[in-house]
Chains A and B, each alone.
Chain A
Amino acid sequence: MPSEIRTEAFDPWQETQQYQQNHLTNGKYGATASFVGTMRDFNQGDDVTSMTLEHYPGMTESYLNKICDEAKARWDLLDCLIVHRVGEIFPNDPIVLTVVWSAHRKESFEACRYLMEELKSRAPFWKKEGLSEGHRWVDKNTPG
């Protein structure tokens, strides 16, 4: 499957390299575009010390795969990959990785952005920030 939910910290560069070795054919891809979302230690003027990411097991994976399939149908891609964290995370931890491989750069740039924007608006994930005093749910995403 081109998408995975992780409960432990992951290294986006290692994931990219490993997936590429296992699923792509050398010499066929000319463009690899990737996006890594990393946790900040600030939001809305407050220090954020941790964050808990919740998902809907089953539906989340299904939507991530659906979004990958849509991207493959819309652009001429060789493959794509989405890795997303859940559970408790801390500043500087990677939250999400999206990678797209294609023969030419235009397709991978556009599709990589598509994966991220669709994921943010449709895949069931929710964030709760840990602040120095208590917690708060994140209600909306920043504009892309």
Chain B
Amino acid sequence: MSITVKFFARLREQVGKGDASLDTADNVQSAWDQATDGMSMPSNTLCAINMEYVDAQANVNDGDEVAFFPPVTGGSHAQ
């Protein structure tokens, strides 16, 4: 088993990849640190584990999918 990391939208472009795989991570912040080689996480980053919103300190378990993305902008045409 391993941990899958996903990046979306602007973050995917900034990090330079959409996916990463990790052997282990204590929490969401540590998954970010490992998957981005220590890039600093933008303050407005949203985090999810297994498709549910969590904060950066949430624990990560083997087999989890951890996702990082910028603030969401769905719906009608936005500013």
A contact set with B: CB distance below 8 Å:
35, 37-40, 43-44, 51, 53-56, 58-59, 62, 84, 95-96, 116, 119-128, 137-142
Contacts and interface: CB of A to CB of B under 8 A. Distances in A.
9 contacts: A38-B76, A38-B77, A56-B48, A125-B72, A127-B73, A137-B10, A140-B78, A141-B75, A141-B79
Interface string B60-72: 0000000101111
B76 A95 contact: yes
Max count, chain B CB within 10 A of own CB: residue among A38, A55, A140: A140
A81 B75 CA distance: 14
B75 A37 contact: yes
Max count, chain A CB within 10 A of own CB: residue among B10, B46, B75: B75
Nearest to A120: B75
Max count, chain A CB within 10 A of own CB: residue among B6, B9, B72, B79: B72
A119 B75 contact: yes
B73 A140 contact: yes
Nearest to B8: A56
Contacts of A140: 71, 73, 78-79
Contact size range, B: 20 to 34
User: When A and B form their complex, which 5 residue pairs have the shortest distance between CB atoms, in order from nearest?
Assistant: A37-B76, A125-B74, A126-B9, A59-B51, A120-B75
Contact of B77 (A43, A56, A62): A43
A126 B76 contact: no
Contact of B73 (A59, A84, A141): A141
B73 A138 contact: yes
Contact of A96 (B8, B72, B74): B74
A84 B72 CA distance: 14
Contacts of A138: 73, 78-79
Contacts of A95: 75-77
A91 to B, nearest CB: 9
Given A54-B8, A58-B51, A59-B48, A40 B77 contact: yes
A126 to B, nearest CB: 4
A38 B75 CA distance: 9
B69 A124 contact: yes
